[in-house]
Every structure is written in structure tokens, then in C-alpha cells.
Amino acid sequence: MQNSCLHVFSKFNFGPLVPSAGGKKTGLHSFAPLVTNMKSAEEDAFSYTPNVTLSLPISMGNPCLSTQYHNLQSSPIVPVSSCHQAGYGLHNNGGAPGYYLTPNLRANGAPALESPRIEITAYGQFPEDEMEESSLPIAKRVNSIVTLTLPNADGYRDPSCLSPASSLSSRSCNSEASSYESGFSYNYDNSPQNSPWQSPCVSPKGSSSLHSCTHTTSPRHSPSTSPRASIADESWPVPHRGSRPSSPCGGKRKYSFNGAPCRHPSYSPGHSPAVSPQGSPKIIAVDDAWPPNTNQYTNSAIVAAINALTTDGVVDLSDSVPVKSRKTSLEHSPAMSLKVEPGGEEPGLGEANQDDYPGPRLPFKKENYCGGFLDVPQHPYPWSKPKPYISPSLPALDWQLPSCSGPYSLQMEVQPKSHHRAHYETEGSRGAVKALSGGHPVVQLYGYMESEPLTLQLFIGTADDRLLRPHAFYQVHRITGKTVSTASHEVLQSNTKVLEIPLLPENNMRAIIDCAGILKLRNSDIELRKGETDIGRKNTRVRMVFRVHINQPNGRTVSLQAASNPIECSQRSAQELPLVEKQSVDSSPATGGKTLVLSGHNFLPDSKVVFVEKAQDGHHLWETEAKVDKDSFKSTTLLVEIPPYRNQRISSPVQVNFYVCNGKRKRSQYQRFTYLSPNVPIIKTEPNDDYEPQRASRLAAHSKPYYSPLGVAPSVPADPGHCLVGGYPSPSPSSSPKLHDLSTAGYPKCLSGGQSHHAAVSMAVHPGSPDHAPLVMLQPPVAPHLGSPAAGGCSHGYRPPALYPNGSPCSSPVSHPSTPGAGPEAAFRPSLQPPAGPAHCLSTPAPGPGQEQPPHPAAGGQQPPRAARHRQAGAAGAGPDILRRRARAWVRDVRRQGLLFVRLLFPAEPPPCRCRHWDRGVGGGGLLAPVPVTPMRCQDVFLSAAVPPALPLTVAITV
């Protein structure tokens, strides 16, 4: 996919830009104040400050800027450095890299306005803001912006930018699986060399990841001390958010395990993380856990951050940990002794699989870890355990893998029910996930003719519109008992529980998944995890993700992945929220009029079906309520008359969404729908349910996506949003991950070019077709090590959720070397591939901003009111309080929706670039585009924009 990203990078010398002070206002007057004000605003409002202003002088030729550094210090603005050493002003500065007085001003005091800027704002802000702000004094406008701090070369991130939950690490042990989010590859081998940037500070602990994991498995962790087996607890000495009781005591529970009233505010039976019973200062424990993570991510930025913390004083680190958390940690020991499980030691890992671990748990062994397998003493499997796929290059769990490759095809024959109430650790199991038909989900591998059994892996993944990745708030839970016919055992891979199930030839490589339940981890626990950026609230949809690794004679391994339909795991949602499982058609001529049959749950006689079209900036372009045939109403079926599109003369397909609404805040997820020009034949959605497994699976396996992100993008040239989000899979039924060709060459090497340097943000110029607006892309930063020679062995892990202009995610089989040594190219390939998620091939690229994953009732539905408030605030003159609220709202939006707006701002006159949407409100103009990112991790985004190469560019990321 050459075109995919013709990353024409420039040399970004941030050094010069960074500076100074003083500044005068430049064309972008708004910025100077903006930064300052924002800073204060955010500081006041939250202790987290996402604010970034990057100055990127663009010149041609030098690609590769990745955001690697996060400023640990509280600097209002963090300089971004480029991978280009030469231009690495910041680094050179070494010292306080991130202290710019005003991002807009150049060191010499010259206005930075000459540079276009990219401003990222929480989703939904711009649209409204533009309106309101345009009428406000620039200064005020600026004030109302909360900025996001980008990483700089010396620190990972400003502690102040982080919620207690996020600290220095891009990922905590637990979330390592989501390597892409951190933008670093996940190294199973944890090899220091994976990162040229290994800090000495970390190196010594090269195996520390093991440490952290050791905690996890340490007998001390005695599960007995905690009913919880969550990885989170065990893997992370995570501080607990003070705002919410992290311990059971905080909630409804009023008694500790011993039955005594729970008075200890800090006591948390559930938190027996890695902290030693000795109650050593949890900070220490935290530290121990850090390096490992860092190491695995090979995030030099993190390492640097750690270093900074280490050298600058633990105080910083500790300070970043909520007092309560630390306190809680300290009191773990008492907690541990409170509950004594019969049998004494309980494996910390899982609840149900204790039996699998007869003796004390063994600490993680690095080697094992490398292989992605937990070192488990013995396998009580009834089947001869297939050779575990032990390869350092085992794809990280957040990698998007194809469901089919060559002759092989991994398919979900029977989908799970759309609702499954997950159980908390404080509860008993709620059983295995069931199938709609009453049985259990079934997975089958086709095309495998060997006699050797394989291992099917299962973990709980996300079901949002972003890339499929391990779900931070849910874990697979092994179910055992008489009723369970399928053998399984748990392992920990990247700190995500993975259930291993035998795939036996005698069973036709088919497995009935009756041994998997879903465990819910407390939001407060997970959110406090280092590096965790997702929020648990309303994040209750998951997918069962299955993987199988097939060794090839040539030494390579084919990895396949199949994901289930989304599963709603919350009690309330499952009971009240309408859920659309299937739709008879997903497209129609613009004239509408046809009948759309929706199958799902919780439909009410008064349910409404609303079709919505949103602009890339989130504006509602069109909204209409479809006619629902109430006569034929069923709680599981709705007959809807497709409303005519607002424009009957469309020449190309138009993406819209619709949702079922049962009332305020009771909306289904957005469903995608496409209006076609009248002469375009309708594409019918094939059924895919439990009753037609074969058919469904085949479809999933062989049918072409109705529209692939790639395919869509072209049809919506003017919509950067498509491109931006296009690569994100949506939770689409029958979605199966499509493959990323990991072995195909031809990717731009831009990412590998200067990787060894401290890169920060990179601007990529996408030639795009003449008709296309430039794309501004946000991608996770490319791990510096990826492109480095040292990164050779680590080709997995990094998978930016970016968009990939072209190239089908299903194009080629995924095969990765089973030997460590995949070259840097390989490492990048995935990153350049379209984020082919399970739904990738079957769903449309996220519909621009609008797609803002609505339906979690909260997000989408609540946008308007908030927006209204914002407008009011702006109109009112944006007083401090208002600004604070507004900023807070923005942050919430970003966190919820994972979308930011990127806009290029030019000094005055729009430069001769291909931006379509000029923002006349501020300075010159820019490109506004929604960009899915991991909330609060904007530091990790990779910016790409089509900007005149010659123009210096300043990037401001605002949240």
C-alpha cells in the first residue's frame, strides 16, 4: 500500500519553535494566550493537562516523527522533538525541554504564526465552539481551551496531565497487550534491545516486567487475601482512586471479609496487587512494576520519564499516586490476612483455574513470558497439549489479525448472546457465555489438515469503534464444572487473561466454548492503572476474541483471529438498552422506502429509529425518525421503513447511522447505513446468527466487506473523517479481523528512518488524490525502537490505529516469523496497514466524528446538551468557572469518545495546501478532522497532515 501513506515527512526542528517567550502574538494570536490560559484552566479544573503545542517546521524529506516523549514535568507546553536528530532542538536542550512560554512564539520572538498548526480538540468541541468562539475575543476563546500536553523528549508526560490513573507509563503491565495504543511494540521477550532507548535505569530491570508479573503470580498475593483474581489487582500495584472506593468497603459492601465492619478506609481486600504483604511502600512496588512495562513497551519516553522520576525524586512518582491509593497499598497486608481461603493459597490469577495450579504459583519466567505463556506447572489437559506457540514474535493481543489466511479460516460458528452479565470479583461466577440458541459459542478452524492439535486462545476484547484490543475492564474467566465439556486453562499473555482451549483434529478443529465467563474488573482499579487511558464507565461492551497460531513448515507462523459479536456485559444495559444485532439491509437507494428489519433486544413498542448523518466535525447534518411498524412489534424485532435521504441525487454512497431509541439515554449503538445513488443496487446484509452458523461463518470468511474503510474513503474524498476513522473497526457482527500482511514489503520506510532518535510528532504529507482533502491523521507514535536496528527482533506490537488509505486489510495472509528477527520493516508493516479489526472488512469506516460511538447512551446522546452549555459559556464570556466546566466537559468527551479534533491552523492566509476546511475562526485556516485516539494519550498520536512541505508547521493539540 504504497499510497497508504506516502509519508513525506519533514524535518521538524522543534527546538527553535519551542521557545520562547515572550512572545508576541503571531498570526495565531489566539495561541499564546491559549496555551497559558489553557494551562491554568486545566490545572484548575483537573490535574491533568493535555495540552500540546507542537511546532513543526515542515520541510521535506524527513519523515518520522513520533511522539515519544512525554513531559514529566508540568510544563504547559511540551516541545515535540523529531526523530531527526539534527533537528532535535529539544533534545539538545536536554534540560527543560518542555518549557515554552508560548507555543506560538519562536525563540527569537518571532511569531510562530507563520506555521500552520494542528489543533486537536475534544470531539464535538470545534463545531460548536467555532460558532460561539468566533464571536468571542480571541483571548477568551483561547482561555476556554484545554490543551493537551504532548510528550517531550525528556519525559513521558506531565504528571499534572494525568489523572491519577495515568502515570508515566504508556501502559501498565496489564495493558501491555494494547501495544498499539502506546505505540510501542509489545515485546514478549522483553528484550532490552528492543529499544535502543533502554534507559540504564530500566535496563537493570530488564526482566522486571517479570517482577511485576511475579507479583502477580506470587503466592503471596494470595488470592486468599482477596477474592479478586483480577490481573489488574495482581499485576498492578495500582493506586486506587480516591474518588471512588476502590475497596469493597467503599461501595455497598460494609463488611470486611472477616465480617467486621469495614472501617478501614484504605483497606482493600480486593487490592492485593503486587504489593508485598509486608506492606512495603507501595511506591516501591509501583516502581518495580514500572520498568517492566516500560521495557516492554520499549518506550524510551517512558524510560526517560522513569529516569526522571527516579532521579528527580520518588516524590514525583509518589505524588502522582493518589494518597489513598498508596495508603491502600500499604494496608494490603492486613487485608491479606483477613480472608483465608480453604486451601490456603489461591492462585492469584484466576478464580476458577486454581486447580490448574497445584502449587504455589511460579513467578513469571522471562522465557515464558517471551513466549506469551505463563509458566504453568502442569497442564491437566485431557488432550495432549499442542506445542505452545512459542515465539517472540507472537503477535500482541492488540494486533489485528485476519480470520483467514491461505487455506485456513478461523470462524465463529455460533455467536454468543448479545448480553452476558459479567460478574465482579466480589460475586460468584455468572456462568459461561452462552449462545443465542441456548448452547455456547462455537469456534472452528477450517483448512487445517494436520493431525497435530492446536491451541485456541480466547480473550476478552473491546467492542468499540476503535481497534480491537484486550478489554481493560473485562477479563475472560475460566469456568469449570460438570457442565463444562471443554477443557481449558488460563494463561497470562501481556497481562491479559487468555483462555487456552484445545482445537483437536478429532473434533474437526471445532471448539465449543462453554468454559468461558466474563469477569468485570472495577473501573476504579483499572482506571488507576498506570498508563490506562480508557474509562470503564459505560464501557461495557466486549467481544470474545479467538486466536490460533499455526506453525508452518517454513518456520513461520500463521496467526488467525476471529472476534464475536459485541456482548453487552452490564446488568442495566442488558436489561434496558435496545440492542440491534442484525439489520436486514445496510444500504438503500437514497429514495428510501424499503423495509429494514432490525433484530435485537429490548425493543419497545415506542422504540424509535433515528437516522442520523453527521459531518466530520460532529455536526448533525441530517436527522430523521424512521417509521416503525408498531403492529409488527416484537421485543426482538422492529420493522422500519427506511426514510428517504435528504438528498435524492447523491452520486456516491453516503454513510449515515441510525439507532434505536427507547427514551432518554436509552439508545442502541449506532448502526451503519449507507444511502446509495438510486441506480446502485442494494447490498443485502446476510444473516449471521446462531441459527445459520455455517452460512454466517462462510460469509464472514469469504464475503467481501460491504465496504472497507479503504473502499469507502475514496468515495468520500472530502471527508477526512472517513479516512481518519475509517480504519477503525466497528463492532460489527460477524466481523472477523482481516488480515494485515505482515510480510509484505512496500511500506514507506518513513517510520523506520529516524526512529532511533527521539521522535515526537510526525507530520505526514499524504499526496492523496487530487480530489482529496489532505488527511490529518493521528496515529500512535511509532516506537523508536521499531525502526532501529535493535528493533529487529521486535516486530510485533506496534499497530497504529491509523488509517490506511489503501490496501485491503484482507489482502494477504498474516504470517509472521516465528523467530525473533522480524526486521524493522515487518515491525512497521502492521502499522501501515489498515487497522483491520474484526469488523473492519464488514463495516464501514467509522462515520466521521459523528460516529462518536453513540450509543453508549451517554456519549452520543449527551453531546448536545453539553454543547449547548458550552455555547452558553462562550456567549457568556467564559468566566473561569465556565471555562473550567467547559474544559472538563471536553476532557470527558475525549475520554469517552476517544475522538479528538485535529485542525490545522495557519497563520493568516491558507497556504497552498489541500486543506478543505478552513477554520476562519482562528488565524488562517485548517483542516478539521475527527481523529480517534486514546483519550488522554494524545501524546502518543502520530500526526500526519497534508501541509505544504515548505511551510513551517506548528501543531497544537488541544483537549
The window from 183-191, 299-307, 537-545, 916-924 that contacts DNA (CB under 7 A) reads 537-545
- Interface residue with DNA among 104, 149, 523, 756 (CB under 7 A) is 523
Query: Considering beta carbons, is residue 245 or 461 the nearer one to DNA?
Result: 245
Rule CB under 7 A: is residue 866 a binding residue for DNA? Answer: yes
Rule CB under 7 A: is residue 254 a binding residue for DNA? Answer: yes
Query: Minimum CB separation from DNA for residue 819, in Å?
Result: 40
d(CA 194, CA 174): 19
Query: Considering beta carbons, is residue 479 or 724 the nearer one to DNA?
Result: 479
Q: Are 160 and 523 in contact (CB under 8 A)?
A: no
Rule CB under 7 A: is residue 164 a binding residue for DNA? Answer: no
Query: Minimum CB separation from DNA for residue 251, in Å?
Result: 3
- Interface residue with DNA among 337, 426, 624, 715 (CB under 7 A) is 426
Rule CB under 7 A: is residue 522 a binding residue for DNA? Answer: yes
Output the CA angle 468-470-476, nearest 5 degrees.
125
Interface with DNA in residues 879-938 (CB under 7 A): 889, 892
The window from 130-138, 485-493, 514-522, 633-641 that contacts DNA (CB under 7 A) reads 514-522
- Interface residue with DNA among 132, 234, 425, 690 (CB under 7 A) is 425
Query: Considering beta carbons, is residue 424 or 622 the nearer one to DNA?
Result: 424
- Interface residue with DNA among 36, 862, 897, 934 (CB under 7 A) is 862
The window from 111-119, 157-165, 797-805, 859-867 that contacts DNA (CB under 7 A) reads 859-867
- Interface residue with DNA among 524, 657, 697, 734 (CB under 7 A) is 524
Tell me the three state secondary structure of residue 497: strand
> Other C-beta atoms within 10 Å of 951: how many?
21
Query: Minimum CB separation from DNA for residue 234, in Å?
Result: 15
Rule CB under 7 A: is residue 305 a binding residue for DNA? Answer: no
Interface with DNA in residues 657-686 (CB under 7 A): 664-665
Interface with DNA in residues 59-98 (CB under 7 A): none
Query: Minimum CB separation from DNA for residue 45, in Å?
Result: 12
User: For the chain, give me the number of helices (H) and strands (E)?
Assistant: 24, 29
Rule CB under 7 A: is residue 264 a binding residue for DNA? Answer: no
Interface with DNA in residues 538-597 (CB under 7 A): 538-540, 570-573, 575
The sheet with strand 408-414 has its strands ordered as 404-405, 408-414, 442-446, 510-512
Query: Minimum CB separation from DNA for residue 254, in Å?
Result: 6
- Interface residue with DNA among 221, 327, 332, 434 (CB under 7 A) is 434
Rule CB under 7 A: is residue 245 a binding residue for DNA? Answer: yes
The DSSP call for residue 175 is: G
Query: Minimum CB separation from DNA for residue 23, in Å?
Result: 35
The window from 385-393, 517-525, 681-689, 914-922 that contacts DNA (CB under 7 A) reads 517-525
CB crowding 345-361: b at 16 or more within 10 Å, else e: bbbbbbbbbbebbeeeb
- Interface residue with DNA among 313, 481, 605, 877 (CB under 7 A) is 481
**Torsion over CA of 587, 593, 597 and 603, rounded to 10 degrees?**
110
Strand segments (E) across 353-465: 404-405, 408-414, 423-424, 442-446, 454-462
H helix or E strand, kind and range, residue 559 = strand 556-563
The window from 36-44, 83-91, 178-186, 515-523 that contacts DNA (CB under 7 A) reads 515-523
Query: Minimum CB separation from DNA for residue 669, in Å?
Result: 13
Instruction: State how far the alpha carbon of 491 is from the alpha carbons of 370, 471, 477, 501, in Å.
Output: 13, 16, 11, 11
Interface with DNA in residues 205-244 (CB under 7 A): 241, 243-244
Instruction: State how far the alpha carbon of 339 is from the alpha carbons of 215, 258, 326, 583, in Å.
Output: 19, 6, 21, 49
Look at residues 111, 130, 120, 114 and name the one whose alpha carbon lies nearest to residue 53: 120
The window from 23-31, 177-185, 833-841, 862-870 that contacts DNA (CB under 7 A) reads 862-870
CA dihedral (689, 694, 697, 699) positive or negative: negative
Rule CB under 7 A: is residue 251 a binding residue for DNA? Answer: yes
Contacts of 681 (CB under 8 A, 6+ apart): none
d(CA 570, CA 471): 14
Rule CB under 7 A: is residue 536 a binding residue for DNA? Answer: yes
Phi, psi for 544 (deg, rounded to 5): -85, 130
d(CA 786, CA 151): 18
d(CA 349, CA 329): 18
- Interface residue with DNA among 151, 164, 219, 431 (CB under 7 A) is 431
Query: Minimum CB separation from DNA for residue 766, in Å?
Result: 34
Query: Considering beta carbons, is residue 255 or 691 the nearer one to DNA?
Result: 255
d(CA 196, CA 168): 19
Phi, psi for 496 (deg, rounded to 5): -115, 135
Query: Minimum CB separation from DNA for residue 472, in Å?
Result: 12
Query: Minimum CB separation from DNA for residue 268, in Å?
Result: 9
H-only helix segments in 345-467: 366-371
Rule CB under 7 A: is residue 353 a binding residue for DNA? Answer: no
Instruction: State how far the alpha carbon of 335 is from the alpha carbons of 213, 349, 360, 425, in Å.
Output: 20, 18, 20, 15
Q: Are 646 and 592 in contact (CB under 8 A)?
A: no
Query: Minimum CB separation from DNA for residue 515, in Å?
Result: 9
Query: Minimum CB separation from DNA for residue 609, in Å?
Result: 19
H-only helix segments in 157-313: 179-182, 208-217, 231-235, 282-297, 300-312
Query: Minimum CB separation from DNA for residue 359, in Å?
Result: 20
The string of DSSP letters for 70-109 reads B--S--SB-----S-STT-HHHHH-SSTTB-S-TTB-TTS
H-only helix segments in 583-741: 693-702, 709-715, 720-726
Query: Minimum CB separation from DNA for residue 573, in Å?
Result: 6
Rule CB under 7 A: is residue 428 a binding residue for DNA? Answer: yes
Query: Considering beta carbons, is residue 200 or 259 the nearer one to DNA?
Result: 259
Query: Considering beta carbons, is residue 117 or 477 the nearer one to DNA?
Result: 477
Strand segments (E) across 2-95: 51-57
Rule CB under 7 A: is residue 537 a binding residue for DNA? Answer: yes
Query: Minimum CB separation from DNA for residue 340, in Å?
Result: 14
Query: Minimum CB separation from DNA for residue 861, in Å?
Result: 8
Both ends of the chain: CA-CA distance in Å?
32
Instruction: State how far the alpha carbon of 418 is from the alpha carbons of 141, 186, 421, 897, in Å.
Output: 44, 31, 10, 22
d(CA 602, CA 352): 32
Query: Considering beta carbons, is residue 211 or 522 the nearer one to DNA?
Result: 522
Instruction: Kindly state the number of chain residues that form the binding site for DNA, as judged by CB under 7 A.
Output: 53
- Interface residue with DNA among 430, 543, 601, 785 (CB under 7 A) is 430
Q: Are 73 and 151 in contact (CB under 8 A)?
A: no
Query: Minimum CB separation from DNA for residue 570, in Å?
Result: 4
- Interface residue with DNA among 83, 173, 479, 701 (CB under 7 A) is 479
- Interface residue with DNA among 857, 923, 924, 926 (CB under 7 A) is 857
**Strand-pair category, 671-676 with 587-589:** parallel
C-alpha 539: how far from its chain's center? Answer: 12
Query: Minimum CB separation from DNA for residue 431, in Å?
Result: 2
The DSSP call for residue 442 is: E
Where does this chain bind DNA (CB under 7 A)?
241, 243-245, 247-248, 250-255, 270, 421, 423-432, 434, 479, 481, 517, 520, 522-524, 535-540, 570-573, 575, 664-665, 856-858, 862, 865-866, 889, 892
